[in-house]
Structure 1
Amino acid sequence: MSALLEARGLTKRYGDQLALDGLNLSVAAGETLCLLGANGAGKTTTLNLFLGFTTPTAGTAVVDGQVVADDPAAARARLGYVAEVVSLYPSLSGAENLQFFASLAGVEVDQARRDAILSRLRFPDGAINKPAGTYSKGMRQKLGLAIALMKDARAILLDEPLSGLDPAAANDLVTVLRETAASGAALLVSTHDIFRAKEVASRIGIMRHGRLVDMVDPAKLTAAELEQLYLTHMAERAA
């Protein structure tokens, strides 16, 4: 199966700081790859390079066959992105926010399709017509994901999507992310949550100091084993 997201020797320096060091990874349709690591591990830098928000010092980011550095706008047109804090216009309803952001992507919103996506994402009934300023963080995350799905994004990047959610909302979003991948999307998720990563990921990449130091199959590890593996890698960093 061909990859929808590829990093080929992807490297980023900011002056003397090496933020990302020769990253190689790929994510195919139907897969969820979680990048697990502490702050400063290179997770968000990786997402920003796929989004074309910054240019690589070396290497290549590819989105659905499009080299990002060659045409960042064309690459972003193939992507969905859900930030840690989804920015919405608080005085506008969820429907108006979705309509606005879809229009920026050149997508015409069909209400039946919109409602089908919201139902699939377990968006609360009637909430789409309420001001976005009244939404919980979990609802904002779901609306961000709905916007990505409305534009038919085949690959979706998520930056700490579960951060700050209460356990019930996090469980719900994990289920939604699993179903989104099962529908054929490729998900690349930045997180520092070991246990939620195990629940949602097809594969987990452990990052440390800008490097991908391990790639594991979470189905082959217990949560305790994954935690111990992660802590071992972090201890190597300290040493």
Structure 2
Amino acid sequence: MLEAKNLNKSFSEKQVINDLSFKVEQGEIMCLLGANGAGKSTTLNIFLNFLQPDSGQALIDGVNVHSSSGSKEKLVYLPEQVNLYQEFNAIDNLKYLASLSGLTVSEAQINAALDETGLEPGARSQSLKNYSKGMRQKVGIAFAIIREAKVLLLDEPTSGLDPSATLEFIRIVEQLAKKGAAILMVTHDFYCAHTLADKIGIMDKGTLLTLLDNKQLPLNTLENTYHELISGKSAIREAS
């Protein structure tokens, strides 16, 4: 459903994505784990067609996102800070977003989507300026439910969330995957990646160092593997 094929991207002769390849199948969750500057967000921006790769392909359901606008109809993007209309309430925001996507939805459908995210009914008539980050995220995810998104791109979604909100976020995303969405998340959060992902890619300086099967992978093994790979690559760069 989501595939990077030998992606490369440079800015001012600095390589920020280096021959990146991976696949995310329907119903699968993949996390890209890495520090700032690893190339994680650049990867998302290529899939969103905000950036053109220098070479390689970004495919959604087999369609090159840079040669067809139809791929955008299948995805929803949830940035670190969900930018919605602060003076609108949750229901009005979702009505407006749906209309921009050419969808006609009833208030009952909107409330059903919000029910799935766990947003309290009493909060839905309040303006979003009173919402926490976790509550705004639930509105964004409700839009993915309404859109019946086949692909969900998440950029540092748990940054700034407390542990309870993080667990709630994980539960919601797991449900979307069970419905068949292919989900790509970029994060610094070892715990969230370990709890949520089917597979985890460790990135550094634009290179995918390894792709781990997360099934029955202990959290301490993930952390140790990450630090060993990153420190090992840093030592190689210093020596050269």
Q: Which one-letter code corresponds to 1:222 in the other structure?
A: P
2:2 to 1, 5, 30: 5
Deviates more, 1:81-90 or 1:122-131: 122-131
Matched-pair contact (CA < 8 Å) for 2:3–2:24: yes
Is structure 2 residue 46 aligned with structure 1 residue 61?
Answer: no
| 1:5-34 residue CA offsets vs partner (Å, 9 max, x unmatched) | 011011111121111011111111110000
Deviations 1:26-74 (A, max 9, x none): 1111100000000111110110000000101000001122211102x32
Distance 2:223 2:206 in 1: 20
CA distance in 1, matches of 2:75, 2:106: 20
User: Counterparts in 2 of 1:164-175, with a 5 A limit?
Assistant: 164-175=160-171
Alignment of 1:151-190 (within 5 A): 151-190=147-186
Equivalent position SS for 1:97 = helix
Paired with 1:42 and 1:209, the residues of 2 have a C-alpha distance of 6
The answer to whether the 8 Å contact 2:91/2:107 transfers is: no
Whichever residue aligns with residue 68 of structure 1, its letter is: V
Gaps of 5+ in 2: 236-240
* Counterpart residue number, 2:31: 34
- TM alignment of 1:1-239, pairs within 5 A: 4-71=1-68, 73-239=69-235
| Paired AA for residue 34 in structure 2 | G
Shift of 1:126: 2.4
- Contact kept, 8 Å, 1:123 with 1:139, in 2: the verdict is yes
- In the TM superposition, what is the alpha-carbon distance from 1:192 to its structure 2 partner? 0.7
How far apart, in 2, do the equivalents of 1:21 and 1:103 lie? Answer: 38
TM-score, normalising length: structure 1: 0.95
In 2, the alpha carbon distance for the partners of 1:5 and 1:148 equals 16
Give runs of ≥4 in structure 1 deviating > 2 Å: 110-113
**TM-score when scaled to structure 2?**
0.95
Name the count of aligned residue pairs. 235
How far apart are the structure 1 equivalents of 2:110 and 2:87? Answer: 20
The Cα of 1:167 is off from its aligned counterpart by: 0.7
Q: C-alpha separation between the residues in 1 aligned to 2:106 and 2:39?
A: 38
Cα separation, 2, equivalents of 1:232 and 1:159:
24
Whole-Å separation in 1 of the counterparts to 2:138 and 2:9: 31
Look up the equivalent residue of 1:173 and give its one-letter code. Answer: F
Q: Partner amino acid for 1:45?
A: T
Gaps of 5+ in 1: none
With 165-174 and 141-150 compared, the bigger mean Cα shift is at 141-150
Amino acid at match of 1:37: G
The separation in 2 between residues aligned to 1:142 and 1:12, in whole angstroms, is 32
Are the equivalent residues in 1 in contact too, given 2:29–2:199 (CA < 8 A)? yes
Farther-moved stretch of structure 1 (113-122 vs 200-209):
113-122
Residue type of the partner of 1:113? Q
- CA apart distance, 1:118: 1.1
